[in-house]
Amino acid sequence: LPADRLNSSELDSNVEVVIAPPACYLASLSSQLAQKENVNVSAENVHQAAKGAFTGEISCSMALDCGAKYAILGHSERRHVFGETNKQIGEKTKATLAAGLIVIACIGEKGEDRKSGNTMVVCVEQLTAFKDNVDDWSKVVIAYEPVWAIGTGEVATPEIAQETHLNIRSWLSENVSPE
């Protein structure tokens, strides 16, 4: 089992591993990894409402009850398959942080955005939805996901990723904090 391998592995103490299984496996995986200090689980998604009739959704408190420490928000599939808007992702961000989960904030552009030179236009729109709902950035991890490279055969080279990371860091320095 992967949990057994992680539990028996010697990880660098400066590295944290986060695994995001489907919601039905959160509690099981979390309990299997409980002895490993720097390995945590993340919900793949959470709903912004604390309670209510939201069939099939998982609330922040449910994710916490299952042992999650993180929640992935803004993933490209949630944006492009399920139609989640930046406004919804912002609402989820606020609720997730208020509940005590750490946000893994996914941002990234589609192929047509990349080809038209709008990578940072898209990323800034997405980052702004997070920024407007975050008070403590120590509780946020930004994950750049070049959507155009997922399953297309196109490759996001290290140079492409590093250029975008540099632009993201620059934007964060100017709009969030120079630190």
Catalytic positions, written as ranges: 75, 145
Beta partners for residue 43, in sequence order:
71
CB 92 within 8 A of CB 77: no
Containing 41, the helix (H) or strand (E) segment is strand 39-43
Report how far residue 153's alpha carbon sits from residue 147's, in angstroms, rounded to the nearest whole number: 12
Token pair belonging to 95: 């609720």
CB 59 within 8 A of CB 49: yes
Which of 47, 43, 44 has the alpha carbon at shortest distance from 56?
A: 47
Is 158 in a helix, a strand, or coil?
helix
Beta partners for residue 73, in sequence order:
105
Token pair belonging to 111: 């192929």
Q: Quickly tell me which residue has 């919601």 as its tokens.
A: 23
DSSP at 130:
H
